[in-house]
């Protein structure tokens, strides 16, 4: 994915201006509600849309492509003006764009890109930067500890734009540093138990592994469990992405070294703001452009990502962001 510029201020500009948007109907589909962060995505999107006077029809899919296809058909039949989709699979979701466009419905890919040349908008994060930030912290940790070793990569679903971008950055940055990748495994469910098994097996085969990088916080929790079972807690660098509360607690306990906060609250607010305005026929703001495979020059809003560890967690996720009670 090539990204030239990112900035998001849409939610702040639009949240208090319900009078600007006449009652419109928006479809919002999440691939899953399994992870903690997606409750914040859902709440923030619905809250912002409501403040702008828009009605949201919400569905989720349990990471099931067939269920997502049915959900798309359902919302199209319900007469939504804009369809905001977090695709289960970035490539296979292209058909949803065609079906929506046949009915004059605008499509916003949410959190993950959709591989379609006529995709209207994308709202997400710089996933490549997530992977780069993870490796930077891992290398600094190894240097401080005076350690060397291989890396284990726990990726999300194959064909998923976020999984591909984070993993690509992990690989490229590790290669630059001369760190070998022992194992890189995709996980369809992005789940804790899957990652636990992957890391557990990898540590048996590669006992010299010193880094575990995970595409999300759920898999990082599985990595923490596997490392604990191997009796190596605190001896292996572990990073995830989403900064779930449980992972922040692991960081404070010294079981996990870092996570990446992707500010899904601002993401959801910005996407809802954009969807409501487009649905009401307002011209969208000037936006940056993103390329992803066949999707070229897609108008894009991106939220920043931020590494968190024991030194800055309070400022990032307690005093701000999700405002965890810790």
Can you tell me the mean pLDDT for 99-104? 98
Q: How many Å from the N-terminal Cα to the C-terminal Cα in the chain?
A: 36
Question: For 254-269, what is each residue's pLDDT tens digit?
Answer: 999 999 999 999 999 9
Question: For 113-146, what is each residue's pLDDT tens digit?
Answer: 999 999 999 999 999 999 999 999 999 999 999 9
Q: What is the pLDDT of residue 22?
A: 58
CB-based contact 303:270 (threshold 8 Å): yes
Question: For 38-91, what is each residue's pLDDT tens digit?
Answer: 999 999 999 999 999 999 999 999 999 999 999 999 999 999 999 999 999 999
Q: What is the pLDDT of residue 17?
A: 44
Same topology, domains 2-126+262-303 and 127-261? Answer is yes
pLDDT higher than 70, residue 12: no
pLDDT higher than 50, residue 8: no
Q: What is the pLDDT of residue 9?
A: 41
At residue 79, φ and ψ (nearest 5 deg) are 80, 35
Question: For 278-291, what is each residue's pLDDT tens digit?
Answer: 999 997 878 999 99
For domain 127-261, the question of CATH label 3.40.50.2300 is answered with yes
pLDDT higher than 50, residue 16: no
How many other CB atoms are found less than 10 A from the CB of residue 213? 33
**What residues does each domain of the chain span?**
2-126+262-303, 127-261
pTM over 0.85: yes
CATH class of 2-126+262-303: alpha beta
Torsion of CA 64, 68, 70, 76, to 10 degrees: 180
Can you tell me the mean pLDDT for 152-177? 96
Mean pLDDT of the chain: 92
Query: How many CA atoms does the CB half-sphere of 193 hold within 13 Å?
Result: 1
CB-based contact 157:186 (threshold 8 Å): yes
CB-based contact 211:1 (threshold 8 Å): no
**Percent of the chain scored above 70 by pLDDT?**
93
């Amino acid at each position: 994915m090539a990204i030239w510029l990112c900035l998001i201020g849409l939610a702040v500009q639009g949240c208090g201006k319900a009078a600007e948007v006449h009652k419109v109907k928006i479809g919002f589909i999440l691939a899953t509600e399994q992870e903690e962060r997606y409750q914040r995505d859902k709440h923030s999107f619905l809250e912002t849309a409501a403040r702008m006077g828009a009605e949201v029809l919400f569905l989720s899919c349990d990471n099931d492509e067939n269920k997502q296809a049915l959900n798309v058909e359902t919302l199209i039949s319900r007469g939504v003006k804009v369809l905001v989709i977090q695709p289960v699979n970035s490539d296979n979701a292209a058909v949803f764009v065609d079906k929506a466009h046949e009915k004059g419905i605008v499509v916003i890919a949410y959190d993950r890109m959709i591989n379609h040349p006529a995709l209207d908008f994308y709202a997400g994060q710089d996933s490549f930067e997530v992977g780069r930030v993870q490796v930077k912290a891992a290398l600094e940790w190894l240097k401080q500890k005076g350690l060397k070793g291989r890396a284990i990569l726990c990726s999300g679903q194959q064909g998923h734009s976020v999984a591909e971008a984070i993993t690509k950055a992990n690989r490229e940055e590790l290669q630059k540093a001369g760190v070998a990748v022992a194992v890189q495994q995709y996980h369809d469910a992005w789940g804790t138990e899957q990652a636990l098994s992957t890391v557990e097996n990898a540590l048996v085969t590669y006992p010299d592994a010193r880094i575990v990088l995970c595409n999300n916080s759920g898999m990082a929790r599985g990595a923490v469990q596997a490392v604990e079972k191997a009796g190596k807690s605190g001896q292996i660098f572990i990073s995830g992405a989403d900064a779930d509360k449980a992972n922040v607690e692991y960081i404070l306990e010294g079981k996990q070294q870092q996570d990446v906060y992707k500010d899904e609250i601002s993401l959801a607010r910005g996407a809802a703001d954009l969807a409501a305005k487009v649905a009401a026929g307002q011209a969208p703001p000037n936006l940056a452009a993103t390329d992803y495979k066949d999707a070229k020059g897609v108008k894009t809003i991106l939220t920043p990502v931020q590494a968190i560890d024991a030194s800055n967690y309070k400022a990032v996720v307690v005093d701000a962001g999700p405002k965890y009670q810790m």
